[in-house]
Amino acid sequence: MFNRLITRSKRKITNQHAEKTPPPSSSNLPKLSKDLNENLKAINSIFKNTSDLIIREFKIGTELQINAFAVMIVGLINEESVNENLIKPLMSLQRDISKESIVKVVKDSALFVPSIKETHTLDDTVAGILSGDTGLFIDGADSALLASIRGWEARGVDEPKTESVVRGPREGFVESLSTNTALLRRKIKNTNLKFEKMVIGKQTQTNICIIYIDGIADAKTVQEVKHRLSRIDTDSILESGYIESFIEDAPYSLFPTIGNSEKPDIVSAKLLEGRIAVLTDGTPFALTLPYLFIEAFQNSEDYYSRPYLATCIRWLRLLAFFISTFVPSLYVAITTFHQELLPTSLLISIASANEGSPFPTIVEAILMQIAYEILREAGLRLPKAVGQAVSIVGALVIGEAAVSAGLVGAPMVVVVALTGISSFVVPALTDVTTVTRFALLILAGFAGLYGVMLGFVGFITHQLSLRSFGVPYMSPIVPLKMADLKDVFFRAPWWAMTTRPSRIGKNSTRQKGSLIPHPSRDNPEN
């Protein structure tokens, strides 16, 4: 019986994988025809029931009078530039040109556009038009020209909303891929900075850009990234999160093995360490990989401030991560099973505060954590001004009302509030701490400190088993690499960080040694 069930499940999975996504309407189209009317009919057939399409028919040359038409999408092109730099020069063309050479002349010398390319199939032509190019069809030519005259509305470069800074660059990525690549090029003015584009998504045809520094990034990792991206076979890519879920190493893990950022300076710094970035058109969030656990506790401002302050803040983040993950479960375990570990005065204080509460400590903790998560989610989803008021006022009102009504004890409210505030200190691991916190609470409620220790061991063991594109997730702590510890638990001065992380890329030398500053010995003493 079990064999039959297994066989049926395998057949079901096989059938599901065998189903293919229907191709878009413009795939596998024939080659272009020399008959202009045939090409016009084909374009009208492909773009039928499409109100944002513009087809502009005109004649090339004042004497030649060669029939032609331009195809463009409203909102993706600059209509004024199309008229001034494409249609007007062609209509006023006065050179004596044969029909056979008209395409070459137009392509080489007649148009005032940044770039132009020739296509021979409807598939490539339609793809270019949908990407914002203007398609030019000429009578008698079995090819089309794609002129790059793009001009859609785009958000200006602004300070990132999710990564505020006190000191450092305040520019952030936007939804335009070309703008984002330019922001990185401004940071790293080197010909070794490579941008390789590809298109993913059968329906959306989303442009993806793989970015790395040749000679610093590991070539095998670059090839692995390309291979994983090329395997993606889906209808749509609307955000970089789609890409992340398709190429990450541990899809069932709570811990992220691919980083993300919307700050060009952070992405540039990671590229200079040998990492690889993936930009997706339509989103300001760039993916960075390999991504290690310690990166969640590093901040761009750590490298713009003095190393002693940066080290203290980094330890504060580590402490906040421990508090947000383990303190609620430790409180439940100790107050429920191990009261002897508490000083007598503290135990009496907690007992008097919890007197009259109808729920066990574990139930109190879970209910308060759920209430906190509801308030946090409401604050995120509501408009900014209203959301802040709801999260702050709601927390105060609910906490005070719960204590006054005798539903929960005041110490539990303090623990939940401290946990919530601590979780904001390490935003990259907020999701991890939330889920882990509930799991540890359940273990603590059933087995006390033994349950917490069991969860902690599982927590660490799982982290040690993870890898990000071949790099151990807990590197350089496990396996230990002493040379790379200069930027882990403390941040060494810049003149001391002479090497890049050895397990990330190649060419580990970042700068020469002996750069410690000191007064010039050539200056005479006053």
Inside any domain, residue 506: no
Q: What is the mean pLDDT of the chain?
A: 84
Query: Domain check: are 337 and 290 in the same one?
Result: no
- Regarding whether 70 and 185 lie in a shared domain, the answer is no
One domain, residues 320 and 444: yes
What are 445-483's pLDDT values in tens digits? 999 999 999 999 999 999 999 999 989 999 899 888 888
The pLDDT-based confidence of 18 (bands split at 50, 70, 90) is very low
Given a contact cutoff of 8 angstroms between Cβ atoms, the answer to whether 491 and 314 are in contact is yes
Task: With respect to residue 343, please indicate whether it lies within any of the assigned structural domains.
Answer: yes
Is 272 inside any structural domain?
A: yes
Among candidates 76, 73, 70, which has minimal Cα distance to 111?
A: 70
Specify whether 211 is located in the same domain as 297: yes
Q: How many domains does the chain have?
A: 3
Q: Are β-strands 134-138 and 144-147 bridged in parallel, bridged antiparallel, or unpaired?
A: antiparallel
104 and 215 housed in the same domain: no
Q: Note the pLDDT tens digit of each residue in 473-482.
A: 998 998 888 8
- Do 114 and 63 share a structural domain? yes
Whether residue 159 is contained in a domain is answered as no
Q: 265 and 324, same structural domain? A: no
Assigned domain for 289 exists: yes
Identify the domain boundary among 303, 327, 357.
Answer: 303
Q: In what order do the strands lie in the sheet with 116-119?
A: 53-60, 66-73, 134-138, 144-147, 116-119
216 and 270 together in one domain: yes
Q: Rounded to two decimals, what is the model's pTM? A: 0.83
Residue 51 lies in a domain: yes
What is the number of other CB atoms lying within 10 angstroms of the CB of residue 380? 10
As a whole-number percent, the residues of the chain with pLDDT over 90 amount to 32
Residues 299 and 313 in one domain: no
Tens digits of residue pLDDT in 159-206:
888 888 888 888 999 988 889 999 999 999 989 999 999 999 988 889
pLDDT, position 148: 85
- My answer on whether 296 and 311 are in the same domain is no
Q: Is 492 domain-assigned?
A: no
Please answer whether residues 146 and 119 qualify as being in contact, where contact means their C-beta atoms are separated by less than 8 angstroms: yes
Q: Are residues 456 and 362 in the same domain?
A: yes
Whether the bond into 169 is cis, omega within 30 of 0: no
Residue 160: helix, strand or coil by DSSP?
Answer: coil
Query: Does the pLDDT value for residue 10 go beyond 60?
Result: no
How far apart, in whole angstroms, are the C-alpha atoms of residue 210 and residue 280? 9
Domain that holds residue 115: 36-147
Claim to verify: residue 313 and residue 450 sit in the same structural domain:
yes
Query: Does residue 194 lie in a domain region?
Result: yes
Asked whether the predicted pLDDT for residue 6 surpasses 80, the reply is: no
